[in-house]
Chain A
Amino acid sequence: MAQKIEMPKLSDTMEEGVIAKWNVKEGDSVSSGDVIAEVETDKATMEVEVFDDGTILKILAKEGEAIPLGGVMAIVGEKGEDISGLMDGGGSDNEESKSETKSEEKSDSKSEGESESKSEDKNKSKNEGGKEEESDSDSVDSTPSDENGSNGKSKTGKDKKPDSKSDDGRIKVSPLAKKMAEEKGIDIENVKGTGPDGRIIKKDIEGYKPAEKSAKGAPVASFDSEESEDVKISQMRKAIARRLSESKFTNPHFYETIDINMEHAMSARSKLNEVSDVKISFNDIVVKACTVALRRHPAVNSSWLDDVIRKHGDVNVAVAVAIDEGLMTPVIRHADKKNLRQIGNETRELAGLARDRKLQPEQMEGSTFTISNLGMFGIEEFTAIINPPNACILAVGAIRNVPIVKDGEVVPGHMMKVTLSSDHRIVDGAKAAEFLNTLRQLLENPLSMLL
């Protein structure tokens, strides 16, 4: 019996997945546990396994296509099996519907109620109620089409050639056109319907040209230069957009900046690197200092959970990693219990995985604090958006060669600005300041981290 392979839930926040790559093609035989596809979720590119032995009978999604959670990606079964029932969306009751055709009466009366009420709804919305009967008794004088014509709503609809979307956002599309669009991989959102009330019909799919999309889709064409390009929003961009908008609009952010003299940290680092086989970076030292400071200021290592504030028992530090398509935040778990070598090693490993899009969801979950470092780009200071559900995020700037006043004299110095963004629901100004002062003290006197 053929089975549908549905888009699995690969992360807690996933709502749809994009087929990044098919490892199989139609006709390939597979056995349980085979990785048949790679799917890009909002977090990572994940592998999808097949649970049944058999043959890939049909692949229903192209590479690059987004499938909602539970949507059918492919059908696996025995070679030559009839999968029309599964394809029609009839689910597994293929046989049932066949037998229904033969012995109609009983099964009909069952399903009738449902379908009837649906069609009624539809008619109501279309004809504004009560016009059904007339359109049926069309031989009197009002043929079905006259009927539509005399209906003000659909007439204006026809003249204006409106979007296929109705007021409630539904796209009107004939079943055939919908199926054709699926087969051709056309997103019906981009197709202009020419049927009544903008219904998308066969002709519209046949005549659809993808180029039409950017040309017609742009509402202010006069401002468009030739070079404009509409880029499809990746799953990662969607996740970034959603999570960070939510954070910035929900969490009351405030910012405190402190300037830290990095002279001792720099000399400590060069001494460490003389003996360490793993190169210790400034960022590693900042991470280490943060873990110590977080242990001393548990309020900063907390989350707002609506009815309670959770002070986390673990210190899990997320490190923001820039990659081509966006930004990822792999998590160094139990960072407070790890030494600089371990932190350095793990950070590099996770950053490598992030750039290859190979991070697993669990490697990006469970952070209690986040560090974002743009020092390597020469950014002096910046403010970061809190990475939910953290209370704070530390934005680390570059180490600057600047004159400083030491013992009443101006001398060359190395200063680094860090800015803490805090969620005021959890952390108050003084608390954040205390944390920053601890952090400064730790970095200006790195030996004290050993205390």
Chain B
Amino acid sequence: MAVLQFREALMQAIDEEMDRDEKVFIMGEEVAEYNGAYKVTEGLLDKYGFRRVIDTPISELGFSGIGVGAAMNGLRPIVEFMTFNFAVLAADQIINHASKVRYMLGGQASVPIVFRGPNASAGQLGATHSVAYDSMYAHFPGLSVIYPSEPDDAKGLLKSAIRSEDPILFMESEQMYGLKGEVSEEEDYTIPIGKAKVKREGSDVTVVASGKMYHIAKQAASELEKDGVEVEIIDPRTIKPFDIETVVKSIKKTNRCVIVDEAHPFGGMAAEVGFLIQREAFDYLDAPVQRVTLPDVNAPFSKPLFDLWLPSAKNVIDAVNTVTYRK
């Protein structure tokens, strides 16, 4: 196992796939000459040249469209957004084209494309730069959404995403690019899309958390452990398709569940998973499923308000206490 930063794990995945398949290329704002806004593409320009590592103008809709067209014509583009908050400009290409081409052409064409970049909030960046989009894209048929929490998952899943025949939204976090973690050194290491991972075993409550929220859940679990509460943490890793089987299996053991989601509450991943749990594990629940989400309020800029707004370990602990009837 090598210890890598999250950004290095992503870079290895892109590098290995570009090396393996010359149809793979990357484009986006500052990916080439500047080595990436978050240095994910560091060194790739030198290695693969301007034809495969392409700087674009600040024009998300334009370069997303080029990506979709390239994918339809047999290439495998990786489109980097400086943040998914800017990808809303490209929503027509992602939602109306990438997701629907295979369907509307009766399977005659596919769109093997990866849209990737940081998702959700990254501190005091204001309301327009702090939105979590994973649940929104997961709403649409034809799109898969991946939101890994650790470097190892990031590498294995990004390689699988690049090889997928259909469009993938691959979400990262500005605050996690420097996160270090052990990454498998297995040759050609891939992780199947749609498989959750039990990252911490426990008998008292199941906590479902992906991306940045996984780390919040982990903090809460260590705190709760001191009180004798054993938390089982499941990182779905892929938001869609969602691996409900792993969650249900865990709930059959713990009988309680808290879902942590960095999105707003209405119609989000937590809502969907909560629904699936009540349908699939009704007889195993000892308490109503709780969720910890953002409030139904846009991101505040003020630091004190922001800290209240973002789900915290304390929120998770409180929710766990509720489902375990500890207070």
Contacts and interface: CB of A to CB of B under 8 A. Distances in A.
Given A145-B319, A174-B285, A195-B287, A139 B293 contact: yes
Given A145-B322, A146-B318, A195-B325, A136 B291 contact: yes
B305 to A, nearest CB: 9
Contacts of A151: none
B296 A138 contact: no
A433 to B, nearest CB: 65
A136 B265 contact: yes
Interface in B272-309: 275-276, 278-280, 282-287, 290-297, 308-309
Contacts of B141: 105
A104 B194 CA distance: 15
Contacts of A105: 141
A139 B295 contact: yes
Contact of A145 (B276, B283, B327): B327
A139 B285 contact: no
B297 A201 contact: no
B310 interface: yes
A138 B292 CA distance: 6
Contacts of B310: 139
Nearest to B241: A104
Given A136-B296, A137-B297, A194-B325, A175 B319 contact: no
B244 interface: yes
A88 interface: yes
Contact of B309 (A140, A178, A195): A140
A178 B287 CA distance: 12
B294 A144 contact: no
A176 B285 contact: yes
B286 A139 contact: no
Contacts of A149: 327
A141 B309 CA distance: 8
Nearest to B327: A145
B295 A145 contact: no
B296 A133 contact: yes
Interface residues of B, number: 37
Interface string A138-176: 111101111011000000000000000000000000111
B319 A144 contact: yes
A175 B286 CA distance: 6
Contacts of A97: 279
Contacts of B283: 88, 175-176, 178-179
Contact of A139 (B280, B287, B315, B322): B315
B293 A137 contact: yes
B206 interface: no
A177 to B, nearest CB: 6
B265 A137 contact: yes
B311 A139 contact: yes
Nearest to A111: B279
Nearest to A108: B275
B13 to A, nearest CB: 29
B295 A137 contact: yes
A228 interface: no
A145 B286 contact: no
A137 B282 contact: no
B312 interface: yes
B322 A143 contact: yes
A407 B21 CA distance: 131
B96 interface: no
Nearest to A126: B288
B73 interface: no
Contacts of A140: 295, 297, 308-309
B286 A201 contact: yes
Nearest to B322: A145
Of A88, A108, A144, A203, most buried by chain B (CB within 10 Å of CB) is A144
A140 B278 CA distance: 25
A138 B308 contact: no
Contacts of A138: 290-293, 295, 315, 318-319
A250 interface: no
Interface in A182-208: 194-196, 201-203
A174 B319 CA distance: 17
Contacts of A175: 282-286
Contacts of B292: 138-139, 143
B144 interface: no
B293 A144 contact: no
A225 interface: no
B293 A136 contact: yes
B321 interface: yes
Given A139-B311, A139-B315, A177 B286 contact: yes
A109 to B, nearest CB: 11
Contacts of A202: 255, 286
Interface in A94-137: 97, 101, 104-105, 108, 111-112, 115, 133, 136-137
Given A137-B295, A138-B293, A175-B285, A201 B315 contact: no
A141 B285 CA distance: 26
Nearest to B311: A139
B322 A148 contact: yes
B255 A176 contact: yes
Contacts of A203: 325
A101 B293 contact: no
Among all A-B residue pairs, the 7 with the closest Cβ atoms: A137-B295, A143-B318, A145-B322, A136-B265, A176-B286, A202-B286, A139-B311
Interface of A: 88, 97, 101, 104-105, 108, 111-112, 115, 133, 136-141, 143-146, 148-149, 174-179, 194-196, 201-203
13 contacts: A104-B276, A112-B275, A140-B308, A143-B319, A146-B318, A148-B322, A174-B285, A174-B287, A176-B255, A176-B283, A179-B283, A179-B284, A203-B325
Given A136-B296, A145-B318, 20 more contacts: A97-B279, A104-B276, A133-B296, A136-B265, A136-B291, A137-B294, A138-B295, A138-B319, A139-B311, A140-B308, A144-B318, A144-B319, A144-B322, A145-B319, A145-B327, A178-B283, A179-B283, A194-B325, A195-B287, A202-B255
